[in-house]
Amino acid sequence: MSDTYVELLVKKPEQKAAAALHGIMIGLGAVLFCIGLFTHFLITLTGLLLWGASYLFSMQAHVEYEYLYLDKELTVDKIKNQAKRKKVGVYSLSTLEVMAPRKSHRLDSYQNLKAKDYSSETEAGNAFELVLNGENGRERIVIDTNEELIKAIRMVAPRQVFTD
């Protein structure tokens, strides 16, 4: 049995506002912590809370998506800050209705469906939309692709994949 395996890692551009806010919160937290050591405990606690909140902002600033295609199944993982991985979706491509570039006219009848966006959200990302029949009805997902991934999905569903 020949299984097709394709792996693709897509990096979202760094969110400049979150990175700047992260730096400000770390600096302010350090100042409040040092002042609080000599004055009042609540100021020290506020500095520690700012450090904790800055960690949450740093996790949102660096996001990557990893697509794994293996034998008619697409798995999407979200990687935050190159440290924390979470599986955000597993999609069976045997229920694929249509796959086309993001601005294709072939997706016009599916615009009322809410899209789950797992793309880099850049022009260079080559974003494609997939419409699938899942357990919760129709699902529309947006992913970045390369030629190898498109070719692998086309082997499974040749009449549903469009590259125009």
Q: How far apart (Å, rounded) are the C-alpha atoms in residues 26 and 28?
A: 6
- Closest among 97, 86, 89 to 129, alpha carbons compared: 97
- Closest among 39, 148, 135, 122 to 89, alpha carbons compared: 135
Degrees to nearest 5, angle at CA 130 with 135 and 5:
90
Residue pLDDT tens, the chain, 164 long? 457 899 999 988 877 777 777 778 888 788 888 888 888 888 888 888 887 877 777 767 788 999 999 988 999 999 988 888 999 999 999 999 999 998 899 999 998 999 899 998 877 668 999 999 977 789 999 999 999 999 999 998 999 999 88
Q: Which two tokens stand for residue 161?
A: 């994949």
Q: How far apart (Å, rounded) are the C-alpha atoms in residues 107 and 163?
A: 12
**Which residues does 158 contact at the CB level (< 8 Å), separation at least 6?**
none
Q: Which two tokens stand for residue 111?
A: 């615009």
Q: Is 72 left (phi over 0), alpha (psi -120 to 50) or beta?
A: left
pTM, full prediction: 0.77
Biggest alpha carbon–alpha carbon distance for the chain: 71
State whether residue 77 is helix, strand or coil.
strand
